[in-house]
């Protein structure tokens, strides 16, 4: 009977008594070329159309049988390639400059997708498995510790990774407000922006210089024995930054209090009683016989009353201060 071919790798299977005189050549091709390509062969595939199937030959060298593929293109656009609808592993590198999507074809050699594919971004390498219908990504889980010796670029999600050593990440611009990772450089830049030269740093309990705590700048102790007041352009006492004034030990000066009251004058009326007897009755006459009431008038005029209280000044040391709390203050000077 004639030779047949294996379904996955298309290796020639010689029937008993067949291929007389060529059996050795076919066997050497099978073992030394075709099987080696399936295990370790690399095929450079040039893509010339938007949809292209890998070459697939029975008993001969082809692209689809190789274990590794390197893609280039002349399409100047994203493209799709189709592998045979059989089970096989592929390592595919895409240095083409465009996104390549890998599909299983419905029939060997056609460009109709049998199932789902996998897109490979430009410059990336992936390990894929064709299951005869779909293309499936491999190595999506690592058991135990995961170590990266060079640069690691992640295009998908890695749930809750645990990193060791000194991993690095791109540093975002100041003001970035996203879920991007904040590097130490980003945090330091944000602190520097929050405390520019001239800023005041306040700490209630620590006297440590902020240069040590924050890791940047030159700081000097500031405002010893003074409270901070906001600048007030309309008040001469507070219209210049870092202007000082006031005193904690002011002296109350000697002074006099004077009170003045003016009285325009007034009268006091004192009535006088006279008794007369007539007809056996007694009564009081409101007149004194001269036609005037029986009153005695007294007039008094006071022009002013002055009260003075003179005191001697006394020290107001620490007795004329607003309520306060003492803290450590530093000013950034560089």
d(CA 203, CA 212): 13
Diameter over CA atoms, the chain: 190
Question: Is the pLDDT at 276 greater than 50, yes or no?
Answer: no
Phi/psi at 240 (5° precision):
-130, 130
How large is the average pLDDT for residues 252-270? 62
Query: Does residue 65 contact residue 36 with C-beta atoms inside 8 Å?
Result: no
Contacts of 22 (CB under 8 A, 6+ apart): none
d(CA 199, CA 218): 11
pLDDT band at 252 (very low <50, low <70, confident <90, very high): low
- Better-predicted residue by pLDDT, 238 or 95: 95
Question: Is the pLDDT at 281 greater than 70, yes or no?
Answer: no
**Minimal CA–CA distance to 223: which of 205, 239, 200?**
200
Retrieve residue 227's tokens. 């409270």
How large is the average pLDDT for residues 277-296? 49
How large is the average pLDDT for residues 165-169? 85
> How high is the pLDDT of residue 288?
46
How large is the average pLDDT for residues 309-333? 74
Q: In terms of residues, how long is the chain? A: 334
**Which of 95-104, 116-125, 321-330 bottoms out in mean pLDDT, i.e. has the lowest?**
321-330
- Better-predicted residue by pLDDT, 297 or 10: 10
> How high is the pLDDT of residue 144?
78
What is the residue-averaged pLDDT of the chain?
83
How large is the average pLDDT for residues 123-127? 94
- Better-predicted residue by pLDDT, 225 or 318: 225
Q: Give me the half-sphere count of Cα atoms (radius 13 Å) on the Cβ side of residue 99.
A: 5
d(CA 307, CA 321): 31
Question: Is the pLDDT at 86 greater than 70, yes or no?
Answer: yes
Global pTM exceeds 0.85: no
Q: Is the dihedral of CA 84, 87, 92, 98 positive or negative?
A: positive
Retrieve residue 146's tokens. 């995961």
Question: Is the pLDDT at 62 greater than 70, yes or no?
Answer: yes
The alpha carbon of residue 221 and the mean position of all alpha carbons in its chain are separated, in whole angstroms, by 30
> How high is the pLDDT of residue 320?
65
Q: Residue 324 gets which letter from DSSP?
A: -
> How high is the pLDDT of residue 126?
95
**Minimal CA–CA distance to 200: which of 236, 175, 226, 176?**
226
> How high is the pLDDT of residue 30?
86
d(CA 147, CA 164): 8
Query: Does residue 82 contact residue 53 with C-beta atoms inside 8 Å?
Result: yes
Phi/psi at 37 (5° precision):
-60, -40
Retrieve residue 292's tokens. 């005037």
> How high is the pLDDT of residue 160?
80
- Better-predicted residue by pLDDT, 16 or 198: 198
Phi/psi at 86 (5° precision):
-135, 170
- Better-predicted residue by pLDDT, 134 or 181: 134
Question: Is the pLDDT at 47 greater than 60, yes or no?
Answer: yes
Burial letters 43-52, b for 16+ CB under 10 A, else e: bebebeeebb
> How high is the pLDDT of residue 303?
53
Burial letters 117-141, b for 16+ CB under 10 A, else e: bbebeeeeebebebeeeebeeeeee
- What percent of the chain has pLDDT above 70? 78
Question: Is the pLDDT at 73 greater than 80, yes or no?
Answer: yes
Q: How many CB atoms lie within 10 A of CB 161?
A: 11
**Minimal CA–CA distance to 3: which of 22, 229, 98, 278?**
22
Query: Does residue 95 contact residue 122 with C-beta atoms inside 8 Å?
Result: yes
Query: Does residue 69 contact residue 130 with C-beta atoms inside 8 Å?
Result: no
d(CA 65, CA 133): 17
How large is the average pLDDT for residues 288-304? 51
Question: Is the pLDDT at 237 greater than 90, yes or no?
Answer: no
Retrieve residue 40's tokens. 């370790």
H/E stretch holding 128: strand 124-131
Residues 150-163: tens digit of each pLDDT = 777 776 777 787 77
Question: Is the pLDDT at 270 greater than 50, yes or no?
Answer: yes
């Amino acid at each position: 009977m004639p030779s047949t071919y294996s379904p996955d790798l298309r290796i020639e299977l010689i029937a008993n008594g067949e291929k007389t005189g060529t059996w050795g050549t076919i066997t050497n091709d099978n073992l030394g070329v075709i099987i080696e390509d399936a295990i370790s062969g690399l095929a450079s595939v040039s893509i010339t159309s938007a949809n292209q199937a890998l070459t697939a030959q029975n008993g001969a060298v082809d692209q689809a049988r190789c274990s590794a593929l390197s893609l280039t293109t002349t399409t100047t656009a994203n493209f799709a390639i189709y592998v045979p609808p059989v089970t096989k592993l592929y390592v595919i590198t895409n240095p083409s400059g465009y996104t390549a999507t890998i599909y299983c074809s419905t029939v060997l050699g056609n460009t109709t997708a049998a199932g789902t594919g996998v897109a490979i971004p430009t410059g990336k390498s992936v390990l894929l498995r064709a299951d005869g219908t779909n293309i499936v990504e491999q190595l999506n889980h690592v058991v135990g510790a995961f170590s990266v010796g060079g640069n690691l670029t992640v295009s998908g999600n890695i749930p809750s990774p645990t990193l060791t050593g000194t991993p690095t990440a791109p540093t975002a611009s100041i003001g970035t407000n996203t879920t991007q990772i904040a590097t130490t450089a980003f945090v330091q830049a944000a602190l520097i922006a929050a405390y520019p030269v001239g800023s005041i740093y306040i700490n209630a309990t620590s006297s440590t210089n902020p240069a040590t705590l924050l890791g940047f700048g030159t700081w000097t102790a500031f405002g010893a024995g003074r409270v901070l007041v906001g600048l007030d352009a309309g008040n001469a006492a507070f219209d210049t930054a870092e202007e000082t004034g006031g005193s904690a030990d002011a002296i109350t000066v000697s002074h006099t209090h004077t009170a003045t009251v003016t009285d325009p004058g007034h009268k006091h009326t004192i009535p006088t009683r006279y008794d007369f007897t007539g007809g056996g009755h007694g009564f009081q006459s409101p007149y004194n016989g001269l036609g005037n009431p029986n009153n005695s008038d007294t007039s008094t005029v006071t022009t002013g009353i002055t009260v003075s209280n003179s005191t001697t000044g006394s020290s107001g040391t620490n007795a004329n201060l607003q309520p306060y709390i003492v803290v450590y203050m530093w000013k950034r000077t560089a």
